[in-house]
Amino acid sequence: MQELLGRIHTLDPHASESIRIIACFDELMAGGVTMHGLVAAAAALSGSAAGAEYAGRVVRVARSGEALGADPAAGVRRGHEDDGVRVWIEGDEASARLNDDLLLERLSLAVRMRRDHADRTPPRRDLALLLDPAVPEPDRLEAASRLRLSSEETFRVVLAPLFATWKAHPRGPEDVVATASGPLHVALTRESDDHPAGTPAGIGIAAPLRDLSISFRTAMVAVRLHDGISVEASHADDLGGLAVTLADLAQQSGHEDRARIESVTAHSWGEATLDAITRTTTMREAARVLGIHPSTMAARVDSLTAALGFDPMTGLGRTRLGIGFLLWRVQSSTVLDAVTISAD
């Protein structure tokens, strides 16, 4: 796996190996993986044999994952000791890598969690606490002060899948946070000095510390609307008031217009046609965008009207279509799963 980390770096020099390593160990801990499995992961990631020792028990694993006997004479390139647990990566100094310390710190935590038979989930880290509205406000503000964030300022949440590529990395605190869409890369930016751009990435509306969860939810809407190709992030601000509306609607199931729109998207021409209608003001314009004859467009609109139960081209129907279609795009987005790389 160490070669994979290297490849990540080759494919995107701005990618953060740290975020991957944190996410990897979060999954190992959540999965209740054995001591051997934990040390094997560290060995694979470091490209070298690794070990853990506590209470006289030694677990030593080769980078291939095979168990090794204890070997007190093995050269150690990096070691870490905490709370009765010693962990290390073997090899000579020359093979030491920048992320050895992070690897060992995560391994040490995972080993201690396992040793202590504690609840599988280690205590949540500060950024996750700060973004969770279910956490009492005093605890959230304490997490913020540990992160050295001022309650005088406003911030935006930046959200991206682990594999996102970055034109401009966010500069504030960042971490991996478990979400319903899997582990995601989360960062905070201050309004003033930071213009992150990533593919795909979403930037939420600005909010003070006590209300950061709304920035998180609108960042989720924004990233799910990202086309997966643009090098710019998707900004919740571009949606104005709709950002919060969509964030709220997206949490519910059974939205009537969205369900009808989903049925329309089953047609090969459905999604593109709905998209064109929401971006233009007349049927003629929409037809031009789609590159089809106006009479074909008219026929499609007739089908749409029948399927939707309302006329999507006029009055309130237009609004219903716009919101329903955006909601469908948010809820059915695969941008957090699938990598799309712009041709180069």
Partner 1 sequence: MRHPRIDPELRAALTIVGGVFPPTITPDLIPFMRRSYASGPREELLAGLPVTVDDVEFPGYAGARLSASIVAPEGVGGPLPALLAFHSGGMMFGDRFSGMDVVLALVAELGVRLVTVEYRLAPEYPYPFPVEDCYGALVWLADESAALQIDPERILLAGASAGAGLAAGVALLARDRGGPRACGMLLDYPMLDDRGVTASTKEFDGIGVWDRVSNETGWRALLGAAAGSDDVSEYAAPARAADLTGLPPAFIDVGTEEIFRDESVEFAARLWRAGVPTELHVWPGAFHACDIFARHTTVARAMIRARTDWVRRTLLP
* Residue choice 14, 65, 191, 259 for contact with partner 1 (CB under 8 A): 65
Helix, strand or coil, per DSSP, at residue 320:
helix
Which of 40/149 has CB closer to partner 1?
Answer: 40
Q: Binding marks (x or -) toward partner 1, 115..154, rule CB under 8 A?
A: ----------------------------------------
For 312, what's the count of Cα atoms within 13 Å in the CB-facing half-sphere? 33
Tell me the β-bridge partners of 202: 159, 234
Provide DSSP, 44-77.
HHHTS-EEEEETTEEEEE-TTS-EE---TTS-EE
Task: For the CB of residue 168, give the shortest distance to partner 1 in the complex, in Å.
Answer: 18
Q: Tokens at residue 209, please? A: 């510390």
Residue 7: partners with Cβ closer than 8 Å, 6 or more residues away: none
- Residue 334 sits at φ, ψ, to 5 deg, of -110, 10
Q: Binding marks (x or -) toward partner 1, 20..39, rule CB under 8 A?
A: x--xxxxxx-xxxxx-xx--
* Residue choice 170, 172, 173, 183 for contact with partner 1 (CB under 8 A): 183
299: contact with partner 1 by CB under 8 A = no
Evaluate the omega torsion of the peptide bond into residue 200 and state whether it is cis, within 30 degrees of 0: yes
* Residue choice 35, 96, 178, 231 for contact with partner 1 (CB under 8 A): 178
* Residue choice 16, 51, 63, 236 for contact with partner 1 (CB under 8 A): 63
Number of residues that bind partner 1 (CB under 8 A): 50
Q: Identify which range of 3-11, 79-87, 208-216, 271-279 contacts partner 1 by CB under 8 A.
A: 3-11
Tell me the β-bridge partners of 233: none
Task: For the CB of residue 7, give the shortest distance to partner 1 in the complex, in Å.
Answer: 5
Contact 196, 256 (CB under 8 A): no
* Residue choice 70, 74, 298, 338 for contact with partner 1 (CB under 8 A): 338
75: contact with partner 1 by CB under 8 A = no
Q: Tokens at residue 85, please? A: 């647990």
Which of 202/312 has CB closer to partner 1?
Answer: 202
Kindly list the distances between the CA atom of residue 97 and the CA atoms of 43, 194, 305, in Å, as whole numbers in the listed order. 13, 29, 61
161: contact with partner 1 by CB under 8 A = yes
Which of 39/287 has CB closer to partner 1?
Answer: 39
Q: Identify which range of 15-23, 189-197, 240-248, 297-305 contacts partner 1 by CB under 8 A.
A: 15-23
Strands 57-61 and 50-54: antiparallel
Kindly list the distances between the CA atom of residue 311 and the CA atoms of 38, 298, 304, 314, in Å, as whole numbers in the listed order. 58, 12, 8, 6
| Segments of 94-238 assigned E as strands | 154-161, 165-168, 174-179, 182-190, 197-199, 202-203, 207-208, 234-235
Q: Identify which range of 68-76, 200-208, 238-246, 333-341 contacts partner 1 by CB under 8 A.
A: 333-341
Which of 12/142 has CB closer to partner 1?
Answer: 12
B/e letters for 327-342, b = 16+ CB within 10 Å, e = fewer, are bbbbbebebbeeeeee
Which of 4/298 has CB closer to partner 1?
Answer: 4
Task: For the CB of residue 114, give the shortest distance to partner 1 in the complex, in Å.
Answer: 12
Residues contributing to the site for partner 1 (CB under 8 A): 1, 3-5, 7-8, 11-12, 15, 20, 23-28, 30-34, 36-37, 40-41, 43-45, 61, 63-66, 161-165, 178, 180-183, 334, 337-341, 343
